[in-house]
Structures are given as structure tokens and as C-alpha cells.
Amino acid sequence: LGIAADEYDNVNVLRITEQTNFENPDVVRGLREIIKGAPACSLHGSLPCTVWSTWQHMAIAKGGRRYLNELTRRRERSVALLKSFIELCELADKTRYSHHL
């Protein structure tokens, strides 16, 4: 999307990567402000999915309770990322709709 956006005027792509730390509440608050000021924005996400892979069953069998505890922590982080992303998507929809009234 970023490469394709370069072909158009007034189209900006803001990439949120692991280095951006989407888990940081200040980052999410900043994104909320950007979305509020950009009623035509579009959000696209690709969140890490490794922790939900069926291969985790094998890893649990091999790593036991210790691995399962770490996996549980990683899954909780994954759910938190997804919740933040959904919250931002809902805000984008609300912002887009309110500007069309």
C-alpha cells in the first residue's frame, strides 16, 4: 500500500511497526488524534499470529508448563494489540461517518 500510495497526491501511509511499540498507550492515543484529524483515513492491519498457530500444541507438549505460561503471556499481548486495533478502526468509522452528516 505504501508503494502504491506514492503514485497519488495527498495520500499518506503511516506504518506502525514493532519498533513503533503499538502496545504503548501513548502511541495509541497519538494514533487516535491522527484518525480524528483524517476523516477519510483507512486502516489496514497485520498483527502477529504465531501465538495462535496450531503448531503451538506441539510446542506446549515439548516445552511443558513453562512454555505454556510464556505462551499465555504472549497471547494476552496479542489480544491487547487486537483490541487497540479494533478500537482505532471503530474510531475511524465513527470519524468518517460524522464528517458525512
6 SS3 class: coil
Distance from CA of residue 72 to its chain's centroid? 19
pTM over 0.85: no
Chain length of the chain: 101
pLDDT value of position 10: 83
Is residue 1 within 8 Å of residue 13, measured between CB atoms?
yes
pLDDT value of position 42: 87
What would the pLDDT profile of 49-97 be if each residue is shown by its tens digit? Answer: 999 999 999 999 999 999 999 999 999 999 999 999 999 999 999 987 7
Is residue 16 within 8 Å of residue 43, measured between CB atoms?
no
Torsion of CA 88, 30, 7, 2, to 10 degrees: -70
